[in-house]
Amino acid sequence: MTTEKDYIEDEAQQEQMTDNSVEKQEEKSDKTKKRKASKKKVKLKKESKEDKMKREIEELNEKNEHIHDDYLRLFSEFDNFRKRKNKEIADLYITAGEKIVLSILPIIDDFERAIQHAGDSDEAQAHREGMDLIYNKFLNILKQNGVQEIEAKGELFDTDFHEAITHFPAPSNDLKGKVVDVTEKGYTMGDKVIRYAKVVVGD
């Protein structure tokens, strides 16, 4: 026969079982929450690593572009420097050659005057042939170095190539404004006038 005491004990036991069940459920729920939180944390860590890698890749790309720009700038500067140096060296050679040629030109003038005033005797003819030979060698050396005589006599007076030392009445109308006589030949070296032709201009 169930007594009141037994009934109270049964209710207490059921309450304890219920409490245990609730505790177990709560514990299970806590474990589930912790597991989910742990998974979320791992996921966040993974995302942060990916973001970090993306940032590093972007930084490397920017650095690469910067290095590439620096390389192109330095290459351009070096190429300009090389061209400038080559031009300076070429100009130096031309200037040095020009000085040598200018020192030879008076000798050419002397040869031309000597040949022009050589006599007609046999002995003078032999001297003339020798002078012609040396004179032609000088002219060949000048031609090999790009030196050309400026055409002057009979040409229109041109201040780019001629230097008028005096004016003279033109023997004919077609010689007005033209070179009537040349007192000293002019020469060009390449595209540059190294000595202007000294001329007499017809009026």
Per-residue confidence (pLDDT) for residue 187, from 0 to 100: 94
What does CATH list as the number for 147-203? 2.30.22.10
Task: List C-alpha distances in Å: 41 to 34, 37, 170, 175.
Answer: 10, 6, 109, 105
Distance CA 38, CA 24 (A): 21
The answer to whether residues 135 and 105 touch, using CB atoms and an 8 Å cutoff, is no
Distance CA 126, CA 110 (A): 18
pTM of the model: 0.55
Per-residue confidence (pLDDT) for residue 27, from 0 to 100: 63
Tell me which DSSP letter residue 178 carries. B
- Strands (E) across the chain are located at 147-149, 162-168, 179-184, 187-189, 192-195, 197-202
Residues 146-198 have pLDDT tens digits of: 899 999 988 889 889 999 998 888 888 888 888 889 999 999 988 889 999 99
Taking the C-alpha atoms of 27, 28, 30 and 32 in order, what is their torsion angle to the nearest 10 degrees? 170
